[in-house]
Chain A
Amino acid sequence: MADGIVASAVATAIGGSTAILLAATGELLVEKVGVYNIALEGVMLVGALSGLIADVNTGSWVIGLLVGGLFGALFALCFGLITVVLRTDMIVVGVALIFVALGITDVVGSKYVGVSVPDPIPKLPIPGLSSLPFFGSAIFSQSLITYLAAALPFGVAFLLSRTRHGLNMRALGENPHAADTAGIPVVGWRLFYVAVGGAFGGIGGAVLTLGIIGAWITNVTAGQGWIAFAIVFFSGWRPLGVLLGAYFFGALSVLGTVGQVEGWDLPSEVFTVLPYVGTVAVMIIRAWSQRRRGGISWPAALGLPFYRG
């Protein structure tokens, strides 16, 4: 067994799932307040391209990530204004905005195909930990944003279950009428968290172009936004479930590389489909086990428009 290969696969799995982890954590916040942003794929595309353009023009990956987050938030805010304020169908508008993002990023991004990123996100080995045996270097030689992304779900878990504001957030998703009666601005907070989720999705997209892939390609996300969306479902709307789900996806995506090196006799397409099939399978298994336990875990008002009175 080639331990070097496995270690590098673990490193790739963790680093490669950063974009999805960020986007899914943001989406969790959005869904906790009762909205689901199906346009996440489009948000990531917008963030990916704007982040790359910012990096190319300023030569700074930090600015690239910030700009990616900003444009992701603005794009998500479009979704929020149309769905949350005007109470339109989230699926229709989400699909529409994915189209818009796909078309616009393709037209604008055609100038940036093949442009190399001047300042890609650097790796930041943690002294001491990264020289631990076995997986030390794999786990602790990631980029700063990967560590932050891994810490983020813990922060979100604290916010949601240990703070007054988190309680209010959950009320918005579970029973917006009660929240409204208690004086919490339902539409305002929903819009705010749609924008926050969009910022995380946009940063996730920028991580793709500035770090994981390192270039702009048309439709660079290739369904990662949808997978992030699905991860929130199978996490059971729990932050730590999101963390596990994202790493599970990352592990599935690197299995192909491991298989090639280890000489498994399988067509490479088997590994291509693993993340997608795995996501579908886990969603079904989770729903099945929840059905058996009789518990419904999603926010009760998820996806429903809020009308006062």
Chain B
Amino acid sequence: MTATDRAATPAARTRKGILPWRIERRPDPDRIGVYRLVAVLVGLAISLIVAPILSGVPVGDFYKAIWTGTIGTALGWSNVLTIAIPLTLAGLAAAIPYRLSLWNVGIDGQMLMGAWAATGVGLWLPNAPGPLLILVMIIAGLIAGALWIVIPTWARVAFGVSEVITTFLLNFVAVAWLVYWCTGPWRAPGVAGGIRAAQVPEQSWLPMLDIHGAQVNLGIVLVPLLPVAFWAYSRFTRRGYEVTMLGANPQAGGYAGMRVKRHLITAMLMGGAIAGLAGAINMLGTSHELSPGLTYNTGFNGLVVAVLAGANELGVLALSAVYSLLLAGGGSLGIIGVSSDLVFAIIGVTLVFGSLGEAYARLRLVRTTPRGASSPTAPPPSITPSLPGSTESEGAS
């Protein structure tokens, strides 16, 4: 797609519209990330005030449920930490492609495929020693997650097919694939409890840690580890630097001789692999069995985290913590009879607010009809530098 960001015409225009203002770009947008985060927090506060009214329950009960479901009790803490594991990984799975303006909207599907592959290994080798089995299951999850994004990646790189749609639609395919295995070859003995596969061998269950009374599986060590590792990689290595450059300015990267396609492919496959890891870890650490509902929109939440973090790995870590609190609190609303899906609306609102904050940082209102236009002088010329290769020139290709 051709960039239509034209070079700015220095001549001021005095054309009148319906409104006495028009919106134009600030010449020097600054601290976009700060504005975005402040806006997110404002959105969160507004949502948390409006939500109990919308759901029609006593306001006190609403906040009490959230308090006990999150930081008020040891069980709440366990929930928060357990949710943080797949959410942080899903955030990375979205952030790594997003650095290159690629969208991984299929994280839920990749997570399911990762959990599927891990389950397959577990059921195939029921007598393998625990640590070895866990290792093989996790590797299988990584590979399966990466394979699940191969077709969207290929279609995008070779033909320019929008990865937004293809990655998303494959989520439905992954769900159907799991329904087949959970109701067919791997069906759990006994019928109760919906669609789910047999449990994986007990020696492959991730050990539980006790952190000041909160119970959480061993996967929690990945939560600080992986974001910091990826951050260090992109900060201190040549390839990481190339990706950062490429993300900031794709055309310049190509002119500088970088292998753009290869970076795009690596980022997508890496995103898929981490999503697969998230799925495998989630299955091994919590349910110990495969089911099509395993992810519960974690992939989408991860996408939100990645976008709001501006694809920064440490930002993903921090925002995952915030959203884990929110999700755990939302999950506890079921006790007082409020659908826990309410939390998706809140997450959506915060994302909208994040966009508004970014818009505030980037744009300004300019009067088109100067007040009391007595002097014939035109308003000062607005020289907005064109931003070649900024994310704004990235269309649906």
Contacts and interface: CB of A to CB of B under 8 A. Distances in A.
Interface of A: 36, 38, 82, 85-89, 91-93, 95-104, 106-107, 110, 175-177, 185, 188, 218, 222-223, 226-227, 229-230, 233, 267, 269, 272-273, 276-277, 279-280, 283-284, 287-288, 290-291, 298, 300-305, 307-309
A283 B300 contact: no
Contacts of B319: none
Say whether chain A's binding surface is mostly helix, strand, loop, or mixed: helix
A36 B347 CA distance: 22
A101 B346 CA distance: 10
25 contacts: A85-B23, A93-B351, A95-B105, A96-B352, A96-B355, A100-B352, A102-B345, A106-B339, A107-B338, A185-B17, A233-B162, A267-B180, A267-B184, A272-B179, A276-B170, A279-B165, A284-B155, A284-B161, A290-B159, A291-B160, A303-B394, A304-B4, A304-B5, A308-B13, A309-B382
Contacts of A276: 169-170, 172-173
A98 B356 contact: no
A86 B161 CA distance: 27
Contacts of B159: 284, 287-288, 290-291
Contact of A87 (B13, B162, B172, B392): B392
Contacts of B342: 103, 106-107
A95 B300 contact: yes
A106 B339 CA distance: 7
Given A93-B355, A97-B348, A307-B384, A283 B155 contact: yes
B139 to A, nearest CB: 26
**Chain B: interface residue count, which band?**
35 or more
Interface of B: 1-6, 8-9, 13, 17-18, 22-25, 54-55, 103, 105, 151-152, 155, 159-162, 164-166, 168-170, 172-173, 176-177, 179-180, 184, 300, 303-304, 307, 338-339, 341-349, 351-352, 354-356, 358-359, 362-363, 382, 384, 391-396
B155 A287 contact: yes
A177 B4 contact: yes
Contacts of A95: 105, 300, 303-304, 307, 348, 351
A107 B54 contact: yes
Contacts of A177: 4, 6
A233 B165 contact: yes
Nearest to A287: B159
